[in-house]
Amino acid sequence: MTEAAIAIKNLSKTYAPVGTAPPKRALDDVTFDVPRGQIFGLLGPNGAGKSTLINILAGLVNKTDGSAAIWGFDIDEHPRNAKASIGIVNQEILFDPFFSPFETLEIQAGLYGVPKAKRRTMELLRAVHLDDKAHAYARTLSGGMKRRLMVAKAMVHSPPVLVLDEPTAGVDIELRQQLWTYVRSLNQAGVTVVLTTHYLEEAEELCDRIAIINNGRLIANEPTRELVGKAQEKIVAVTVDRDVTDIPANACFQKIALKGTRTLEITYKKDRVNAGEVLAAIQGSGFGIVDVSTKEPDLEDVFLSLTRAANA
């Protein structure tokens, strides 16, 4: 079996009490693997523990319990090799505003001990569309440019694993697309990518596999398609041939709501009934059907139902 890109086992973190606040169990016995070669989504509501997990991998936060290995290197036993195997783009934008993007990458390469002959500074700047800004002060870059510079900075030592913590927060749609195109090309070139994002649509589109953390606990870890396939509720919107004064009821409807005067929005459980039965029930109530549209469940539906169930 190929070794995982990242192997996390029984990982826990309890933050010490701050002032009068009690200790915080930010990660609670989390175990999962990130397979090599994948784009892996680490999702969860605010405060779920994603950044804590990433910061443990980065060596910025000390775990309380459990173990983590990056590219086969345990972070305690082989911290240098583990660190050399991962590039991390944090939520905060961190670099010296007086250095140019070119200098920023050169300094970072120096920190990682990348010999001059092996540096890829201009290649990286071209990849993130910053080659024309190579010698401008970093402080003159726009927010989106700074974020792309952070990605290039994380890649100077050519790590096999790249972790992106909310890389597109506050980045406009076009730049987001450019960033994802670059991330995809890195992945195609063999880099394993782990990303956290609040844009579930992007996660659904990009990620091969998704893990969901809620309140420090792992509540899902599956291939994206299987996870989305778990959504049991479907919605069908039916426009009928006259104004609805009495909303029809039927055992096969999970929920029914009137939108406007003639459109009924029916939620049903796809494992119990099918759309044909729902439509027959509407016709059975004496309505003619003028138009029908259905909405496929997406990652957002699954995410909400899983996190709600975990919180219940």
Ligand X SMILES: Nc1ncnc2c1ncn2[C@@H]1O[C@H](COP(=O)(O)OP(=O)(O)OP(=O)(O)O)[C@@H](O)[C@H]1O
Task: For residue 211, state whether it binds ligand X (rule: CB under 6 A).
Answer: no
The minimum distance between CB 61 and ligand X, in angstroms, equals 7
Q: Which stretch binds ligand X (CB under 6 A): 47-55, 129-137, 225-233, 252-260?
A: 47-55
Residue 225 neighbours by CB distance under 10 Å: 11
Is position 2 an interface residue for ligand X (rule: CB under 6 A)? Answer: no
Q: How far apart are CA 59 and CA 42, in angstroms?
A: 18
195 binds ligand X (CB under 6 A): no
Nearer to ligand X, 24 or 78 (CB): 24
226: nearest Cα among 201, 208, 206, 245: 208
Say whether residue 20 binds ligand X (CB under 6 A): no
Q: Under the criterion CB under 6 A, does residue 229 sit at the interface with ligand X?
A: no
* Closest distance of CB 269 from ligand X, Å: 31
The whole-angstrom separation of Cα 3 and Cα 193 is 15
- DSSP for 41-102? EEE-STTSSHHHHHHHHTTSS--SEEEEEETTEETTTSHHHHHHTEEEE-SS--S-TTS-HH
The only residue of 30, 48, 145, 179 in contact with ligand X, by rule CB under 6 A: 48
Check residue 15 for interaction with ligand X (CB under 6 A).
Answer: yes
Establish if 43 lies at the interface with ligand X (CB under 6 A): no
Q: How far apart are CA 109 and CA 115, in angstroms?
A: 8
Looking at residue 297, its amino acid is: P
Q: Which is nearer to ligand X, 23 or 229 (CB)?
A: 23
Residue 2 vs 46, nearer CB to ligand X: 46
Is residue 47 near ligand X by the rule CB under 6 A? yes
3-class DSSP state for residue 138? helix
Q: Pick one of 44, 101, 159, 167: the residue that binds ligand X (CB under 6 A).
A: 44
Nearest Cα neighbor of 42 from 257, 272, 196, 148 is 196
Q: H/E element holding 209?
A: strand 209-214
Q: Rounded distance, CA 97 to CA 304, Å?
A: 40
- H/E segment holding residue 227: helix 224-229
- Residue span binding ligand X (CB under 6 A) among the ranges 18-26, 179-187, 220-228, 261-269: 18-26
Binding residue count for ligand X, defined by CB under 6 A: 12
Residue (19 or 190) nearer to ligand X, CB: 19
Q: Can you tell me which of 1, 18, 251, 312 binds ligand X, judged by CB under 6 A?
A: 18
The CB-of-48 to ligand X minimum distance in angstroms stands at 4
Of the candidate spans 49-57, 185-193, 225-233, 264-272, the one that interacts with ligand X by CB under 6 A turns out to be 49-57
Greatest Cα pair distance in the chain: 78
CA-based end-to-end distance of the chain: 38
Q: Which residue, 26 or 57, is less far from ligand X as judged by CB?
A: 26
Minimum distance, C-beta of residue 53 to ligand X, in the bound complex (Å): 7
8 A C-beta contact, residue 56 and residue 132: no
Q: Does 24 bind ligand X (CB under 6 A)?
A: yes
**Which one of residues 5, 32, 34, 51 is an interface residue with ligand X (CB under 6 A)?**
51
For ligand X, the binding residues (CB under 6 A) are: 15, 18, 24, 26, 44, 46-52
